[in-house]
Structure 1
């Protein structure tokens, strides 16, 4: 194992885990939608310059909305630059969307409904024409690996992935997050990142750490790109149900094998352990494997067997940003949250979250029926 991985041990059931799970699924599906939407708009004759303008504007709006949401004191007065938190969920989505969408726009071509590209290996027509994209992604991942495991972080061992504080027998109290935290501190400043990470309570750390920091965004881009590949499969093999499901299955297995190698089939050990707070590459490949399986099941039920329309999850998808912003603003208010008798009870947390989720699904249904959609 390259480094101690106590940082993966944030196992208490709290909102951060829910946010990270949501973010990962959203990132993967966002990549899929980028492929489908850009191909559709190019087919309708939209110029790439016009699309680039839309991408820039959407990314900027998403980033600004995210900054406002993660700095709730704006209700008490103007935002103060002195302690303004810069990273956040929507900010990461914004940067991820921008990189993946621009990269796709550079090489994208309108894919006709009956795509029959003439390439040496027709079975790889969703991959080979886009080899520059794959080279870029491999270079990006190389940057993440080098920064994570080779960057000299003062007072910390190279490749440290632990929580600092009392973790690792208290040997590295100020090394929370290793290179990821160090980069955020240098580029953004300590006052501009998350001040109350889970490690404060679990490991008694005193160092600020942001789970949506700069370094982890690299692997967020990788995640979205894998989702983009799923979209290409749907485009290039349209109505070829067997081919689509076969490729989803192959990609799931490939991602699973990579994860098994990186983690040595262990829970929190291996060469690069699964680490949700740092968005390690093994975390991305593991969840991507599940992402392809999920798409396979949904495609089979919705498009092949036609036994499910996608409801009720279809409705939140039509107003995803509005629902997320609403959740962030009202998550601590009744009826979405209330004082529990036992704050450590998983069943009470589960009931609370199920009720809150159901309420937001109902709200999204009402918005859908009234034809109210918030698009960015």
Structure 2
């Protein structure tokens, strides 16, 4: 069976990833979260650790489809568009970090959207300027050079939380006031240096898009995804013995491990949706995928508004955030603390799906 059109499974995977982002970012309480919905504390890998690299992987696949028919003379115009989009996404991410207090003295400079912007911008530019063979060498070089930088420039404990090169560079360039402190000390999991290997995640996605876009037998596409995916998972696991799998550092082993799983999941979705035609369940994820960055940004604005701007007095006369009030007074009575926290997140997925469904029905596609 020869397939020339875009595979529906790609759009479904993007939508699943966005829904998963909302799920892991919107618990009723961070004190009550099941472990698969939490990041590994440092070294290690949980299902939540796969979400962000899956999104960057899909960004890479999309880059290939966007530029596959471009001619060299169109490159300058395409590069201008890439640079413009990079600045827009980065600026939106910075705005989200500032909102709603707009305290420039303590604003975090980096974040998820900023990493998406830089990984997209640099990755798309590389994809535009290099051929497939060169992309393989560039990707491998990025991963090896990053490993070497971390290992050789910090001889003692190069991969530990407070001694690694990634944190040292961010602290030196930006100061502790502008760095995330979610681990209990200044360290940004979306920092400057660790953006380098995230570009490799995008490039692996683009290389994947390269063989998926060819008008070849769909069974062959699935076999290639399974072989490449399994090989990358094994490579990442073996590499982890000398460079641990670590989402916060975005280690080279983490890049291989997570990209391999992205390929395996994509192979399964292609088989399920494009071969077996079991796709009735997938439509909500298509809706998420068509306005993916918009709904992610909107969900961030919504959460911060409900936390910082919406204040409600509870039955005990205490003032609490709108988000906590909903959790404590609706979801905890229904399902208890732990399951209520999970149900709260699922309810928000449904809420945001309603929004993207309305946009989809009205054929409104907001491109960021």
TM-score bracket relative to the smaller structure: 0.7 to 0.9
Distance 1:229 1:354, change over 3 A: same
Distance 1:255 1:354 in 2: 32
Distance 1:351 1:360 in 2: 14
Trace 1:237-248 onto structure 2 (pairs within 5 A). 238-248=215-225
Distance 1:132 1:60 in 2: 26
Distance 1:64 1:356, change over 3 A: same
Task: With the length of structure 2 as denominator, give the TM-score of the two structures.
Answer: 0.76
Residue 300 of structure 2: which of 325, 328, 332 is its match? 328
Partner of 1:311: 283
Q: CA deviation at 1:366?
A: 0.9
Distance 1:251 1:76 in 2: 46
Work out whether residues 249 and 296 of structure 1, in 8 Å CA contact, stay in contact via their aligned partners in 2. Answer: yes
Q: Deviations over 1:329-374 (max 9, x none)?
A: 1126367962364999542332122111121122111111122221
Indicate whether 1:24 and 2:53 are aligned. yes
Q: CA deviation at 1:67?
A: 0.5
Q: Deviations over 1:164-190 (max 9, x none)?
A: xxxxxxxxxxxx262110011122222
Note the aligned Cα RMSD (angstroms): 2.8
Residue 234 of structure 1: which of 200, 206, 212 is its match? 212
Indicate whether 1:100 and 2:128 are aligned. no
Distance 2:55 2:197 in 1: 14
Unaligned runs of 5+ in 1: 1-10, 108-128, 164-175, 201-206, 264-269
Trace 1:210-359 onto structure 2 (pairs within 5 A). 210-236=188-214, 238-263=215-240, 270-308=241-279, 310-331=282-303, 333=306, 338-339=327-328, 341=332, 345-359=337-351
Indicate whether 1:181 and 2:167 are aligned. yes
Moved more, 19-28 or 179-188: 19-28
Work out whether residues 157 and 163 of structure 2, in 8 Å CA contact, stay in contact via their aligned partners in 1. Answer: no
Work out whether residues 60 and 205 of structure 2, in 8 Å CA contact, stay in contact via their aligned partners in 1. Answer: yes
SS state at 1:215 partner: coil
Trace 1:50-61 onto structure 2 (pairs within 5 A). 50-61=77-88
SS state at 1:246 partner: helix
Partner of 2:159: 161
Work out whether residues 327 and 341 of structure 2, in 8 Å CA contact, stay in contact via their aligned partners in 1. Answer: no
Task: With the length of structure 1 as denominator, give the TM-score of the two structures.
Answer: 0.74
Work out whether residues 220 and 279 of structure 1, in 8 Å CA contact, stay in contact via their aligned partners in 2. Answer: yes
Q: For this pair of structures, how many residues does the alignment match?
A: 308
Distance 2:364 2:63 in 1: 22
Q: CA deviation at 1:89?
A: 0.4
SS state at 1:214 partner: coil
With a CA cutoff of 8 Å and minimum separation of 6, indicate the structure with the bigger relative contact order: 2
Q: CA deviation at 1:12?
A: 6.5
Distance 1:366 1:177 in 2: 48
Work out whether residues 335 and 356 of structure 1, in 8 Å CA contact, stay in contact via their aligned partners in 2. Answer: no
Distance 1:317 1:49 in 2: 29
Partner of 1:150: 152
Work out whether residues 67 and 91 of structure 1, in 8 Å CA contact, stay in contact via their aligned partners in 2. Answer: yes
Work out whether residues 147 and 251 of structure 2, in 8 Å CA contact, stay in contact via their aligned partners in 1. Answer: no
Distance 2:225 2:332 in 1: 44
Distance 1:335 1:314 in 2: 28
Unaligned runs of 5+ in 2: 1-31, 40-46, 307-321
